[in-house]
Structure 1
Amino acid sequence: MVRSRTDRPAVMHVLVVPSWYPTTEVPLNGIYFAEQARCLQAHGMTVGVVYPEQQSLRRATVGALRRKHFQTAWTTDHGVPTLRRYGWNVWWRVPPGLRCRVRSAVRLARRYVDRRGVPDVIHAQSARWAGAAAARMSNALGVPYVLTEHFSGFQRGGVWAWRRPLVDRGLRRASGLAAVSAALKEALATRKDIASGDVAIHPNPVRASFFTRPPEGRPSRPPFRFVTIARLNSRKNIGGLIEALAQAFEGSNDVVLTVVGDGPQRAALEAQARRLNVADRVDFRGQQRRAGVRAALREAHAFVLPSRHETFGVVLVEAMATGLPVVATRCGGPEDIVTKETGMLVPPAAPTALAQALCTIRTRWGGYDAECIRAHAVDRYGPEPFVRRTQSFYRCARAA
């Protein structure tokens, strides 16, 4: 039986619907959504998550199929009550598959309400499919929904034509719209019936209590260590960074690069490092959990994000929270984050400009104030400003 909304507690109750989310097999996928939900909960809100998980069939081992066979289960992922349906990507690249996922999310929401009551607001994370699901949940439960967009496909034309009606439905019907960067906001404003003034900018937060400056200080130099943290695919352009490293410090062994992350291009990137004679100066560490990411940041002297497209750049803020100066490309989100006091911006896919920036950061490294860099990150992207923005977002939606 659905609990009456008149019986709900005074504490605001939010149901989060993420378009992607951590799984057993891919624990960092959408980790920031889980951390945001936990942050809101830690600041006194009642928060829950529903997620119709759809694993890639490439991971469909016998053991995985025994663990995940389209069953529904409650968990406390990342300390937040979460209702999941464990499924597989049987036909997600065609319209019926996406509609099936939306229906599954709505069914989960009804089961969620039976146990935890009707939420005050639904928060869809991205319009890729969660927006349409939230719109249907809103109709079914009689509560408003808001949508925060994170998907870089809006900037690079990556929304497939057959998805657009579902995507646009989620965007148009929301009681509140936000994007994580100014560039993404303007990309959304090019869509029909959405004006720039209708979209707020709500950047992602950083776990300021976790990503801190190294208590023992930075390691001594040489070597000077750059670090990058990224999925190893073409969009992140790690190949351009390796080329820039070889160009900037040819024949020098006192500058090294740590690469944290994995992906389809790893073997090709390792081959590139050998071809450019920098294999002994590029440390591929693979995918790391959060503690490993923090350790890599604390061991480094500067951070680099050479992406072709970024909607925001959470790793930039995490690096800055540990006191690192950063080098990033003007590819969308970083323009909102990086200032001359915190690092440098260069054009995307421009190895020579990136090489020059690496040299400059190394030369001027002593002139960057690590405490000021951290303060910049925490003051703008810490938990407190994030919670204030989000609570205001929800209140406006409820009042609409």
Structure 2
Amino acid sequence: MIARRFALYTPLDPGFVGGLRSWIGSFWTKYLALRDGTLDVYHTGTRPWAAVSRNSDDEGSGRIRYYRLRGRAIPGSAARIARVGELAECLSSADVLYVDNGYAFQDVVGLTAARRAGVAAISGHHSVIRSSWSHNIIWDFVGRRVVRHFNAVHVLNSDDEAYLQRLGAKGVHWVPIAIDIERYTPRERFGTFTILFVGRLHKQKGIDRLVSLIGRSREMLREGRVQFIVAGGGPELRLLETVRDVPGVRLVGAVSRSDCAELMGRSHALLMPSRSETFGIVAAEALASGLFVLASDVPGVRDVLRGTCGELIRTPDDPLAWVGALTRTVAMFEKRHDDFVRGSVEARSSVVGRFSFDSVASGFDNLVNDALTDHCCGRHVATAG
């Protein structure tokens, strides 16, 4: 693949604790080194919720550079939107612009700037396409029309792929997030059956469902049959106060990727009671670590768990559904341990091929090539006309 000069536009601060920072740090750093490329990230400093995190400016070994655009405020929102002229001027040396789509009017700004600069544009969907009432109105009147004009589209799950294809979007590519197979691997397990939760402490991640399950597992906790470890920080920390002092429950706060891998490698099951996910990278990392995954049946996660030993909860608002799934998993560990070990081995093998870096990078190459081909064809048609 020819060396490319990539640009990425997002309203989010890339130092923000979340999927964007993780994707840039884990995928792009290696991808650019192997493809001899560079990435300029343009952002407006938006943080959806207050967080303290390290700056990501030191990532990428010089191949990734970060620029904060002044932008303008969006009335009634904490977000800022870039000015088209300012962004277009920044793209003068780029080959392709990747737009982190999913935020009001950012797709319009990114596409318009790319066209003004004469570069290919990819619409990337790392957040749920439909969510709040106000967001859906903007999507219905603007987003679903604009997405058809991008040169290619990147989605992280099969539901979004089918939906955007029905809308008439061009070059829709379902390319998942790569996981670090070497980092996320089985280790010596804790002596007690351990249920792990990793993620933002936010309603979207189902923190209330987690608290409910812990409350309904007090007998198993009291008997010492299980323990819960909750790793993460966020705005709903207060919900965990009711279980903070419960024996067998450990709240460890936000953890580094290395510490997360250690916890996954030593636990037995991952709980993922999310209300929505675009991909479910935590589930994929857990499977690579040999964990049984108990998760809400939502887009993205169901792609990850398809064909594995994990269990999708079809009625995630029913507390008894979570209790039943956990009880069955613990019973297998206690009474059919050979089956449990076999399932753990199968869990890892199910994701190694699908989510390895090489597999994902190949899919991303196809996405980029499609965008550039469509851009060149469109430019030639316009010139001929």
Deviation at residue 383 of structure 1 after TM alignment: 0.4
C-alpha distance in 2, partners of 1:174/1:353?
42
- Note if 1:396 corresponds to 2:370: yes
Aligned counterparts of 2:86 and 2:371: Cα–Cα separation in 1: 25
1:293, distance to aligned residue in structure 2 (A): 1.4
- 1:52 counterpart (35, 43, 47): 43
Structure 1 residue 183 displacement after superposition: 2.4
User: Is the Cα–Cα contact under 8 Å of residues 171 and 371 in structure 2 kept in the other structure?
Assistant: no
Q: What secondary structure is seen at the aligned counterpart in 2 of 1:30?
A: helix
Q: Is 1:233 aligned with 2:202? A: yes
Partner of 1:145: 121
Give the aligned residue type for 1:173.
Answer: H
Give the stretch that moved more between structures: 168-177 or 279-288: 168-177
Instruction: Give the match for residue 83 of structure 1.
Output: 66
Aligned-pair CA distance for 1:15: 2.1
1:209 paired to 2:182: yes
The farther-off stretch of 93-102 and 332-341 is 93-102
User: What is the match of residue 231 of structure 2?
Assistant: 260
Q: Residue 224 of structure 1: which of 167, 171, 193 is its match?
A: 193
Is 2:269–2:292's contact at 8 Å kept on the other side of the alignment?
yes
1:277-299 CA distances to partner (integer Å, 9 max, x unpaired)? x7222211111121221122123
Query: What is the distance in 1 between the residues matched to 2:255 and 2:51?
Result: 22
Aligned identity (percent) is 19
Alignment map for 1:289-304 (pairs within 5 Å): 289-304=256-271
Sort the Cα spacing of 1:56 and 1:87 in 2 relative to 1 into closer, same or farther, 3 A.
farther
Q: 1:392 to 1:86 in 2, by over 3 A?
A: closer
> Which stretches in structure 2 are left out of the alignment for 5+ residues?
375-385
Shift of 1:182: 1.7
Per-residue deviation, 1:102: 5.3
The DSSP-based 3-state class of the residue aligned with 1:257 is: strand
8 Å CA contact 2:287–2:351 kept in 1: the answer is yes
* Structure 1 residue identity aligned to 2:35: G
Say how many residue pairs are matched: 361
Deviations 1:70-105 (A, max 9, x none): xxxx944343421321769x8344589644455554
Unaligned runs of 5+ in 1: 1-8, 69-73
Indicate the residue corresponding to 2:323 in structure 1.
355
Give the TM-score normalised by structure 1: 0.79
Q: What one-letter code is carried by the residue in structure 1 that aligns with 2:363?
A: R
Output the CA distance in 2 between the equivalents of 1:104 and 1:255.
55
Kept after mapping to 2: 8 A contact 1:226/1:256: yes
Are 1:386 and 2:354 an aligned pair?
no
1:182 aligned onto 2:158? yes
CA distance in 2, matches of 1:308, 1:397: 32
SS in structure 2 at match of 1:206: coil
Q: Alpha carbon RMSD of aligned pairs, Å? A: 3.3
CA contact (8 A) 1:248 1:358 kept: no
**Cα separation, 1, equivalents of 2:132 and 2:158:** 15
Separation (CA, whole Å) in 2 of partners of 1:132 and 1:305? 34
CA offsets 1:210-232 (integer angstroms, 9 cap, x no match): 22222xx2223xx2110011211
CA distance in 2, matches of 1:21, 1:288: 20
Question: Distance in 2 between the 1:97 and 1:109 partners?
Answer: 22
Partners of 2:41 and 2:66 within 8 A in 1: yes
Structure 2 distance, partners of 1:57, 1:236, is 15
User: For 2:184 and 2:217, how far apart are their aligned partners in 1?
Assistant: 29
- CA shift digits 1:268-315 (9 cap, x unpaired): 2222x26xxx72222111111212211221231111100111111111
